[in-house]
Chain A
Amino acid sequence: MGDGAGYAGRVPLTRRLLVLPALLVLVYAAVLGAPAAAQADDARVVRVGTEGVYPPFSYRDPDTNELTGFDIEVIKAIGEEAGWDLRFVEAPFDSLFPALDSKRIDVIANQVTITGERKARYLFSTPYTYSHGVIVTAKDTDDITSLADLKGRTTAQTASSNWAQVAKDAGAKVQYVQDFGPGVQLVEQGRVDAIVNDNIAVLDYLATSGNDQVKIAGDAGDEVLEQALAFRKSDPELQQEADAAIKALTDDGTLAKISDQYFGADVTVQGGSKDVDVKATDSRTTWQVVKDTAWPMFKGLVKGNIPLTIFSFVIGMVLAVAAALARLSSIRVLDWIARIYISIIRGTPMLVQLFIVFYGLPSIGLDLDPYPAAIAALSLNVGGYAAEVVRASILSVPRGQYEAATVIGMDYGQSMRRIILPQAARIAVPPLGNTLLSLIKDSALASLVLVPELFREAQVTAAATTEYLPLYTMAALYFWVVCYLVSLAQGPLERRLSRYAT
């Protein structure tokens, strides 16, 4: 091949292509990074991981949208006693332990039950809740009243909760769900037979939802379970400070008072959970709940999904063009690197990529905050998918165009930027439009790496109010509207890019 022949690249990235995302990142850092640096206090900052969707222990107050609940009030009291400066991080239960491992949080306050397995990996404070397990079934199930009856039946459990183990030990098949509420739906629909869970959580659910389709069918054994704060093994001072605080708060009656407020009983001492009486945490009508949640969800969309989508798309496009040019390069190594990258991205689930970036990379020293981690994972994903689209579009530009650019003296970068890519863009827009729509929808996954966004808001309120269908439908509606608007913009853009073709 001649010197000018082919799209072979020596410098696949042009400077201009790199400046844009760098600027975006700076703007992002300025806008979103500012609040984190605000507090000027010598109190030790302790990041508390909690679900926020597990009433009455950890949930958002339906009226104020503030994080509250028994565990929250307890950790606040402990924090005050120990002189900690608390920062709350909300995440699904299954993400809490990875977050603790990867030092994104310092303590879990979320009714973590002490088990042998967990004790081997984590430090636990003195227990602040004593509970026992109950079995929940549909109201007309009458052949399950004890753990023994679960043998061969199916239960719905969260993956990392100790109740899953209890159910398994009883011989039940376990189907994993994200939290208690969705599990109850499965029981109601007859898709699973039962759920094993904490009696307090179940009582709260029944009180809040007014759901009479399920019932407490019996105790899950007579074992008493202890819930405590979980710390990293490497953080014994935190644990000791917590224990000292818990002792003080037990002695002065603070813990008993908090417990009484929530449960009408003192669950912070052995045997206390027997007399629990739970009041509804929410009593609004469905319509009221939907109206009240519309705004937080919209904020989640504007502060979470939309910026995530924009940053990830722009950076992803840069990656896609770079990977496409590398694929077209006559330099073997570049071609192979791009091939491997594309193949990995297309051959693995988005969710797994997200978890590797956020929970996996810290163990090799690459520790990204939630937003950058989500943007990194989404960008890499978009880049991998769009690379082949971009490559095909570049190849569809006639080779004569490259030669014409070459003979007027353009170098590789100029030919690409001014002649080839603009023509390729026209061909790439429709398929890239689809990539963008997928990205908007994938942005909902960011909640799993602790980024607050639209769907997370829906989940939070749904957990507190049990209004699953209306809230999730509204979330779907929001996504649909955004995708619809984007697809509306696609037509004019395509026309503009092809105005020269008649």
Chain B
Amino acid sequence: MTDATPLIQVEGLHKSFGDHEVLTGVDFTADGGSVTALLGPSGSGKTTILRSLNVLETPDAGVVRISDATIDFATPPDRRAVKALRSKSGMVFQSHHLFPHKTVLGNLVEGPVQVQKRPVDEATAEARVLLEQVGLAGREDSYPSQLSGGQQQRVGIARALALKPEVLLLDEPTSALDPELVGEVLAVIRDLAAESWTLVIVTHEVRFARDVADQVLFLDNGVVAERGGTEVLTDPQEDRTQRFLARMLDAG
């Protein structure tokens, strides 16, 4: 499970929105094929970390490396470097952001065909395999609006995978779903973990994180307050981690 050098490396990440310092020096690494779970109270900066990994937000300082693409945000990044780093990861949004005017298949082949310039036939064949994998074979020609929330999110995952990224970033993929739809999405993510995809997932599903995560990062006030294996979730050392988990498990 662990390679010699980690696939993801984040050092000294800082980000402010105006006067508000959201990230105040975040460091972590993740090995290829590992699952990293990001937990922490709302507003602690989890989403901002994820969005820094694909430069949807531009950090004020810090270094982000995924595979062989590195950006040091000490200076404003140039476009080519951003493009290179972005191509290493795929992203699954909390509220899927599927393209409503394209069919399920259209959503999946858009990136491979338009961005990666791969042949339509090839991209379509691969998209069908992915849809089968997320349990949506036969829904190729549906529009997103004709699917349930859980199905939409599974299409969101498949769309991200269609680009064959090295890392999949998931930002609370089940938070916007009705409770009865959460399971089908988590099941798909579990399969991905089993297939050794490298995942970085922001989640409030503590039990799920306990099952699939190799590394747990507990975030508070813009820093990683506690980190380790799943023992962070079963036997937290920090006060604030304990309090957070107690609240989560009560609620869940």
Contact = CB atoms under 8 A, between A and B. Distances in A.
Do A and B interact? yes
Interface of A: 1-5, 398, 400-401, 403-410, 414, 418-419, 422-423, 426, 499-502
Closest 6 CB pairs of A and B: A408-B111, A409-B115, A404-B97, A400-B97, A500-B143, A407-B91
Interface stretch (B24-32, B54-62, B128-136, B179-187): B54-62
A227 B131 CA distance: 85
Given A409-B83, A418-B110, A3 B55 contact: yes
B9 interface: no
Given A410-B114, A418-B110, A502-B146, A2 B91 contact: no
A410 B110 CA distance: 10
B20 interface: no
A408 B158 CA distance: 12
Contact of B86 (A5, A407, A501): A407
B120 to A, nearest CB: 14
Interface in B62-103: 77, 79, 82-83, 86-87, 89-91, 93, 95, 97-102
25 contacts: A2-B57, A3-B77, A5-B57, A400-B93, A400-B95, A400-B97, A401-B97, A403-B93, A404-B97, A406-B86, A407-B54, A407-B56, A407-B86, A407-B89, A408-B160, A408-B163, A410-B111, A414-B115, A419-B99, A499-B143, A500-B102, A500-B145, A501-B145, A502-B145, A502-B146
B115 A423 contact: no
B145 A409 contact: no
B238 to A, nearest CB: 31
A426 B101 CA distance: 10
A64 B153 CA distance: 72
Interface of B: 51, 54-58, 77, 79, 82-83, 86-87, 89-91, 93, 95, 97-102, 110-111, 114-116, 143-146, 159-160, 163
A2 B58 contact: yes
A352 B101 CA distance: 41
Q: Which of B77, B98, B101, B110 has the most CB of A within 10 A?
A: B101
Contacts of A501: 100, 143, 145
A444 B58 CA distance: 53
Contact of B101 (A398, A400, A500, A502): A500
Q: Which of A400, A406, A409 has the most CB of B within 10 A?
A: A409
A502 to B, nearest CB: 5
B98 to A, nearest CB: 8
B51 A2 contact: yes
A500 B99 CA distance: 10
Contact of B56 (A4, A426, A500): A4
Contacts of A419: 99
B18 to A, nearest CB: 12
B57 A500 contact: no
A379 to B, nearest CB: 28
A121 to B, nearest CB: 59
Given A408-B115, A414-B114, A501-B145, A2 B93 contact: no
Contacts of A410: 111, 114-115
A409 B111 contact: yes
Contacts of B102: 500
A502 B103 CA distance: 13
B17 to A, nearest CB: 10
A5 B57 CA distance: 7
A423 B101 contact: yes
Contacts of B90: 407-408
Contacts of A409: 83, 86-87, 111, 115-116, 163
Given A403-B93, A500-B145, 18 more contacts: A398-B97, A401-B97, A404-B98, A404-B99, A406-B86, A407-B89, A407-B91, A408-B110, A408-B160, A409-B115, A414-B114, A419-B99, A426-B101, A499-B143, A500-B101, A500-B144, A502-B143, A502-B146
A406 B126 CA distance: 21
Q: Which of A4, A398, A407, A499 has the most CB of B within 10 A?
A: A407
Given A408-B159, A500-B143, A3 B82 contact: yes
Contacts of B86: 406-407, 409
A104 B100 CA distance: 53
A301 B102 CA distance: 39
Nearest to A498: B101
A414 B95 CA distance: 22
Contact of B114 (A3, A418, A499, A502): A418
A377 to B, nearest CB: 34
B146 A2 contact: no
Contacts of B55: 2-4
A7 to B, nearest CB: 14
Nearest to A401: B97
A419 to B, nearest CB: 6
Given A407-B86, A409-B116, A5 B101 contact: no
A401 B100 CA distance: 9
A3 B99 CA distance: 21
Q: Which of B54, B82, B100 has the most CB of A within 10 A?
A: B100
A403 B56 contact: yes
Contacts of B145: 500-502
Q: Which of B79, B86, B95, B160 has the most CB of A within 10 A?
A: B86
Nearest to B81: A3
A331 to B, nearest CB: 16
A423 B100 CA distance: 8
A409 B111 CA distance: 7
Contacts of A401: 97, 99
A398 B97 CA distance: 9
Nearest to B162: A408
A1 B56 CA distance: 9
Contacts of B114: 410, 414, 418
Contacts of B97: 398, 400-401, 403-404
A405 B145 CA distance: 18
